Structure 1
Amino acid sequence: MRCYCVTHHGQPLKLTDKPIPQPQGTEVLLRVKAAGLCHTDLHLWEGFYDLGAGKRLMLADRGIKPPMTLSHEICGEVISAGSEAGQLKVGMRSLVHPWIGCGECAACQRGEENICIKPQALGVVRAGGFAEYVIVPHPRYLVDIEGLDDAEAAPLACAGVTTFSAISKFGNRIHEGPVVIIGAGGLGLMAIEVLKAMGAHGAIVVDIDASKREAALAAGALAVIDGKATDAAQQIMQATDGGARAVLDLVGATPTVTLAIASCARGGHIVICGLMGGDITLSLPVIPMRPLTIEGSYVGSLAELHELVKLVKRTGMSAIPVTRRPMSEINSAMQDLQNGKVIGRTVLIP
């Protein structure tokens, strides 16, 4: 089978030919129908996360080294399964939950494999979707997408479940006033659609890119704000009638977290999903005196992905803009994403 692999960090993915894997035990073999391209794939390709102050979290220090087959947003059809996988319908179209854990730690036992201490995620630790076939370790990670388009469904495995999980952490706040979304990339546009499907008050979107702000308005944002404006915090406070009660930071960089804190109302809740990197200095009395909740959120659980797909089917939630490209264009697609040229999501088709 053909697959596109990171053989050296920062260098173009290499087309390689490997034998089609044969499923063993509980494993399931899928033919990949669509594989989304995410900013996380860029971090994995680069080989590090920016921790700020010149520090880096190197993937090699976590045991993640080339060769790597990226893409954790995978839709495919069942081709075969191991002898312990149970009865599966050949040809069944499925979305894959890629955030797989060890199955034994406390996080896995409570259903939060996405924060496992020994993660085995597809497209990160295990081979992912930038290939003709992919092995899924157990059929429980397959989510039925009958009635949905493969390329439109693929981003639900990351952009979708990430925003759904993060928004769920706000609880009833999403009905009390607009949620401020920082970042109008694929996750930002997905967050707008999730909020609409959940019957939320609405979204105010912040981005430094005018074309992405326009895409957010087209998707139904109540208002958009230029994140580079010197009075961006004041604009957010005015648009939220005194300060944001809920801020979803999908960028996760020093200036965006700083803006989130500056624009929050007393009792505001900030959830950070983005991994662009950096650091902040924060006076500690501010947290209890205002009081603020600053929370991280990392992708989502298998149960949350099932909930999200049910929400999509029940409400007819609109898909985010998807650009379909042949998988042979993976390197130029990654370059476009790195240069900020992508509206919504790029999905590669084998």
Structure 2
Amino acid sequence: MRCYCVTEHGQPLELVERPAPQAQGTEVLLRVKAAGLCHTDLHLWEGYYDLGGGRRLKLADRGIKPPLTLSHEICGEVISAGPDAGPVPTGATVLVHPWIGCGECATCERGEENLCLKAQSLGIVRPGGFADYVIVPHPRYLVELDGLDPASAAPLACAGVTTYSALKKLGDRLYQDPVVIIGAGGLGLMAIEILKALGGNGAIVVDIDPAKREAAMAAGAFLAIDGKADDAAKQVIQATGGGARSVLDLVGAPPTVKLAMDASARGGHIVICGLMGGEINLSLPVIPMRPLTLQGSYVGTLSELKELVRLFRDKAVSSIPVTRRPLAEVNAALEDLQHGKIVGRTILVP
């Protein structure tokens, strides 16, 4: 089978021919039908996360080394299963929950495998979807699509469940005030659609790219603000009637966190998902005196992904803009992502 692999960080993915894997034990073999390209794939391709101050968290320091088969947003057809897998929906098209843990620790037993310290995530630790086939370690990670389009559904495994989990952390504020969403890439557009499906009060979007602001307005945002504007924070404060009570930062860079704090009302709740990187200096008395909540959110749980798929299926939620490209164009797609040319999501199709 074909695999497009990171064999050297920062260099083009290499086409590698391998024997098609065989499902063993509880494993399930899928023929990949759609594989999403995520900004996390860009970090994995580069080989590090920017911690700010010239410091880097290298993948090698986490025991993750090339060759890597990227893509954790995977839809595929169930081909076969190992002898210990039990009943599996052979022939069905499924979405894969890629945020897999060790399955044995207290965190995994709570259903929070995405937070496991011994993560086995597909497309990061285990081979992912930029291949003809992928092995899923257990059928419990398969979510049936029930008629959803595979290419449109693939981003639910990351962009979808990440923003769904983050929005849930804002609680009843979703229904009381507009949510300020910083970043109108694939995650931002997904957050707008999920917010609408949940019956939320709507979104005010901030982005530096005019095309992405236009896409956010087309998706139903109340307002789209240029993040580069000198008065961006003042525009948010004015649009929210005194400051944002809920902010979702899907970029996670020093300027966006500063904007989130500057634009928040007293008692504001800021949830940061983005991993763009860098560092910030905080005046600590500001946190309790305002008082602000700064919360991180990392992808989502298997149960949240199942909830999200039901939400999209039952409420016929609109998909975000998706550009389908042949798997062989993965390096061109990665370059487009690196240069900010993608609106919505790029889906690679073997």
Scaled by the length of structure 1, the TM-score of the pair is 1.00
Specify the SS of the correspondent of 1:267: strand
What is the aligned partner in structure 1 of residue 258 from structure 2?
258
What is the aligned partner in structure 2 of residue 88 from structure 1?
88
Any residues of structure 2 matched to 1:1-350 within 5 Å, and which? 1-350=1-350
Within 2, Cα distance between the matches of 1:172 and 1:311?
18
Within 2, Cα distance between the matches of 1:133 and 1:315?
31
Q: CA deviation at 1:88?
A: 1.6
Q: CA deviation at 1:89?
A: 2.7
Within 1, Cα distance between the matches of 2:156 and 2:227?
26
**One-letter amino acid of the structure 2 residue matched with residue 21 of structure 1:** P
Within 1, Cα distance between the matches of 2:221 and 2:103?
39
Runs of 4 or more off by more than 2 Å in structure 1? Answer: none
Q: CA deviation at 1:16?
A: 0.6
Within 2, Cα distance between the matches of 1:18 and 1:199?
47
Within 1, Cα distance between the matches of 2:213 and 2:76?
32
The Cα offsets for residues 180-237 of structure 1, whole Å up to 9 and x where unpaired, read as 0000000000000000000000000000000100000000000010000000000000
**One-letter amino acid of the structure 2 residue matched with residue 92 of structure 1:** A
**One-letter amino acid of the structure 1 residue matched with residue 203 of structure 2:** A
**One-letter amino acid of the structure 1 residue matched with residue 150 of structure 2:** D
Specify the SS of the correspondent of 1:135: strand
Within 2, Cα distance between the matches of 1:200 and 1:165?
14
Specify the SS of the correspondent of 2:60: helix
The Cα offsets for residues 110-155 of structure 1, whole Å up to 9 and x where unpaired, read as 0000010100000000000000000000000000001100100000
Q: CA deviation at 1:341?
A: 0.4
**One-letter amino acid of the structure 2 residue matched with residue 187 of structure 1:** L
Within 2, Cα distance between the matches of 1:230 and 1:282?
21
Specify the SS of the correspondent of 2:80: strand
The Cα offsets for residues 245-304 of structure 1, whole Å up to 9 and x where unpaired, read as 000000000000000000000110000000000111111011111110000000000000
**One-letter amino acid of the structure 2 residue matched with residue 219 of structure 1:** A
Q: CA deviation at 1:90?
A: 1.7
The Cα offsets for residues 95-120 of structure 1, whole Å up to 9 and x where unpaired, read as 00000000112211100000101000
104-113 or 132-141: bigger deviation: 104-113
Within 1, Cα distance between the matches of 2:234 and 2:89?
56
Within 2, Cα distance between the matches of 1:64 and 1:282?
32
Specify the SS of the correspondent of 1:180: strand
**One-letter amino acid of the structure 2 residue matched with residue 341 of structure 1:** K
Within 2, Cα distance between the matches of 1:88 and 1:42?
33
Specify the SS of the correspondent of 1:9: coil
Q: CA deviation at 1:23?
A: 0.5
**One-letter amino acid of the structure 2 residue matched with residue 196 of structure 1:** K
Within 1, Cα distance between the matches of 2:230 and 2:142?
46
Q: CA deviation at 1:166?
A: 0.1
Within 2, Cα distance between the matches of 1:30 and 1:62?
27
**One-letter amino acid of the structure 1 residue matched with residue 57 of structure 2:** L
**Residue correspondences, number:** 350
The Cα offsets for residues 76-102 of structure 1, whole Å up to 9 and x where unpaired, read as 000000001112232111000000000
The Cα offsets for residues 293-317 of structure 1, whole Å up to 9 and x where unpaired, read as 0000000000000000011111111
Within 2, Cα distance between the matches of 1:52 and 1:262?
21
Unaligned runs of 5+ in 1: none
Specify the SS of the correspondent of 1:281: coil
Q: CA deviation at 1:15?
A: 0.3
Q: CA deviation at 1:6?
A: 0.3
Within 2, Cα distance between the matches of 1:338 and 1:143?
30
